[in-house]
Amino acid sequence: MKLCLALVLVASFALGQAPESGAGAESDAFQISVDVDLVVLQATVRDRAGHTVMALQRDNFTVFEDGKPQVIRFFRHEDTAVTVGLVVDHSGSMREKLAEVTAAARAFVQSSNSDDRMFVVNFNEKVSLGLPAGVRFSDSAEQLGYAIWAAPAIGTTALYDATALALKRLQESTHDKKVLIIISDGGDNASKSTLDQVLKLAEQSNAMIYAIGIFESDDPDKNPTVLRRLAKESGGESFFPVQLSETVEICKLIARDIRDQYTIGYSSTNEKHDGSYHKIRVTATDPARSKDNGKLFVRTRAGYSTGLPPLKVPVVR
């Protein structure tokens, strides 16, 4: 397949409002469909001690899809602009935690690339966009922090609906690199969407999800398994601070992780766009490192789905 660098867009997304049915039962639904020509991965590489490895080249990496090696067509390691959605739980259990969460969000923005574009999705049993009407994205730490702080923390939790809306919102950006940061206890007791639907949306997206689980050990609504799964499947990472005060440093760490990633693109040898799931594995070695025979640890998305019919997921506006 001939690669045109001008088309290094991991996928072409068709986004549209679902047609109304009857009395408008689906008027709050959206669709995402994807056809993959070049599979683009964001990869973080660390050594055994957990240190980020920065100076690798294309030949240091091997990509496997469904166990078969793939030819790397595109490789880049530079601090490129990213679109980030800050998805913040505003249920009643977050009331006393919101000031620290707001400070952590501001720290993330201040540690990020100045060309990044960000937005806020707040949620309790309802889901809303935090920025003022008419403002789609922002790079202002103060504006983004206020977008979180100004929303009241009351009610129950619609995590899945909020994540679905944020995944849709990401696709409105022209940046190839897209990230969600979810701050929640992981529980959901109010969504119209299901976890399986959200995971399917993530498979069809190129977004990387980071999750920060904030809850007490005896919190009956906590669900760290959900946060871990969202992060792992998308190539992100999950964090569970013991102290709320750790959240600021975690957000700074996430910002560094995003800026230090490698971008790897390959043309899949799979010719069937039948909606099946394709597993991805990336390995890296550095012969200059004698320890462990130069073996390194790569974190990237677990796989992707393609050729699926548009998936309808109801969200609360």
Q: Give the pairing type, strands 262-266 and 72-76.
A: antiparallel
How far apart (Å, rounded) are the C-alpha atoms in residues 267 and 71?
A: 7
The SS3 of residue 304 is: strand
Q: Is residue 302 part of a domain?
A: no
Q: Is residue 131 part of a domain?
A: yes
Q: Which string of b and e fits 243-257 if b means at least 16 CB within 10 Å?
A: eeebbbebbbbbbeb
Q: Is residue 303 part of a domain?
A: no
Q: What is the pLDDT of residues 291-306, one digit of tens each?
A: 666 789 999 999 998 7
Q: What is the pLDDT of residues 4-56, one digit of tens each?
A: 333 333 333 333 333 333 333 333 343 333 444 689 999 999 998 899 999 99
Q: What is the pLDDT of residues 86-122, one digit of tens each?
A: 999 999 999 999 999 999 999 999 999 999 999 999 9
Q: Is residue 300 part of a domain?
A: no
Q: Is residue 205 part of a domain?
A: yes
Range of the domain at 179: 82-260
The answer for residues whose C-beta is within 8 angstroms of residue 277's C-beta and 6 or more apart is 203, 303, 304, 305
Q: Is residue 317 part of a domain?
A: no
pTM score of the predicted model: 0.85
Which residue, 103, 87, 109, is CA-closest to 186? 87
Give the tokens for residue 214.
Answer: 């904030």
Name the least confident of 68-77, 104-113, 209-218, 264-273.
264-273
Q: Is residue 201 part of a domain?
A: yes
What's the number of domains the chain is made of? 1
Q: Is residue 216 part of a domain?
A: yes
CATH of the domain at 163: 3.40.50.410
